[in-house]
Amino acid sequence: MMTKETNQSWGGRFNEPVDAFVARFTASVDFDKRLYKHDIMGSIAHAKMLTEVGVLTALERDAIIEGLSQIQQEIEAGQFEWRVDLEDVHMNIEAKLTERIGVTGKKLHTGRSRNDQVATDIRLWLRDEIDRIKAEVTRLQQGILQLAEREADTIMPGFTHLQTAQPVTFGHHLLAWFEMLSRDFERLVDCRKRVNRMPLGSAALAGTTYPIDRLITCDLLGFEAVSGNSLDGVSDRDFAIEFCSAASLIMMHLSRFSEELVLWTSAQFRFIELPDRFCTGSSIMPQKKNPDVPELIRGKSGRVFGDLTGLLTLMKGQPLAYNKDNQEDKEPLFDAVDTVADSLRAFADMVPAIQARRENMREAALRGFSTATDLADYLVGKGLPFRDCHEIVGHAVRYGVEHNKDLAEMSLAELKQFSDKIEQDVFAVLTLEGSVNARNHLGGTAPAQVKAAIEQAKELLANR
């Protein structure tokens, strides 16, 4: 006879209860209980399908649905008692259902296993989370466009190797962020397609002898298709790994944005001002305003990279089909979802409130000979080979370094000592405005192109 302490879902095979430590060690309810809503959703769809194929009666179906609905209300009201001895979210809900409606509750599990049940729950949950994250990506992109529109004409230095390279507009720089996030959005959309496959009906690993109709359940749960192989259906976690890969790229992008914000707020740059509500002070230095939110997001990228690596390592040595190892799939996935969603939310709230220090940006662009390439291009226009022009401008820059003069600050006589091709019209080329306006092509930094790109980006978001 089964003892009270023996797990009621599988205890018939065992002569003694599980060791108390092992019960705690193998339980997952502390973290997988967040799947409760999707577990109940899947169970209701399963009950409806079983009724359609004649395994359950309509009265049994209605009792199950009513019982599950009441359990969901209890969970959401904080009145549900989660039991570690029942291992996971699935058995906690099923045990409560049986306690509430009797033997009919035990019939719910007909034609399925916890293996295909949990695989279905995770996909349902992740599908919703991807939609939430996509919405946050869009909200951040909207904020970027707001700031880029305000700063479409604001000139700042563009960098390579973190050295002044050429003048760009702040709006153009922000649109680079927009492009990165657009790729992230596309990856999420594509990932969601593979998440949205239904493993329910695979049972433990080989399918079931009951006359189930997987297409009914698939339709009820809004999946695009059913999994094509029962072994793969219960053991596949590619979709979770793929999501963590997409999430890692998002966090890598946010980390790059964060690094720039940290630099730009420093006393050495002073390009922007972050709102106080996204910063903190120092316990000892009263003058400090620390960009804690960008710094923390930069650090949190490592968590998500770790989640991806953890899932890859988890799966790399598993034979088909389901193994207990897969209990370890949830915490890294949950962490990746929570981290990327919170980081996007923080950025989406923060970016529209950024204030540009336009004069500081312009002053920085005037330093570092940022229009040197424009002078070389000017000389090419006068008929000289580019490599000769490159050398000529190099000499001019060296002269400027020695005399502490930018190219635009030199007189025509000073410039002509490097090439007699240089005339008075060179000064239109050497100004910051002349430099950025000269790059008036698709994808260029000219303010006219930036404004056109913003309008196209707005249309892109409106059509999502």
Q: Which residues have a catalytic role annotated?
A: 161, 282
The span from the CA of 76 to the CA of 169, in Å, is 50
CB of 271 within 8 A of CB of 264? yes
Distant-in-sequence contacts of 78-87, Cβ < 8 A, 24+ apart: 82/29, 82/30, 82/33, 83/29, 84/23, 84/24, 84/27, 84/29, 84/30, 85/5, 85/7, 85/23, 85/27, 86/7, 86/8, 86/9, 86/29, 87/7, 87/9, 87/23, 87/26, 87/27, 87/28, 87/29
CB of 177 within 8 A of CB of 352? no
CB of 184 within 8 A of CB of 253? yes
CB atoms within 10 A of CB 464: 11
CB of 256 within 8 A of CB of 162? no
Task: Name the DSSP letter for residue 379.
Answer: H
Cα within 13 Å of Cα(262), Cβ side: 15
Return the amino acid letter for 375: L
43 to 33, 101, 368: CA distances (angstroms): 15, 15, 66
End-to-end CA distance of the chain: 59
Look at residues 47, 108, 41 and name the one whose alpha carbon lies nearest to residue 75. 41
The span from the CA of 460 to the CA of 362, in Å, is 31
Residue 163: phi and psi, rounded to 5, are -110, 145
Position of tokens 């529109």? 149
The span from the CA of 168 to the CA of 453, in Å, is 15
58 by Cβ neighbours in 10 Å (0-12 / 13-18 / 19+) ranks as exposed
DSSP states along 47-73: HHHHHHTTSS-HHHHHHHHHHHHHHHH
Token pair in block for residue 320: 């088909």
The span from the CA of 232 to the CA of 238, in Å, is 10
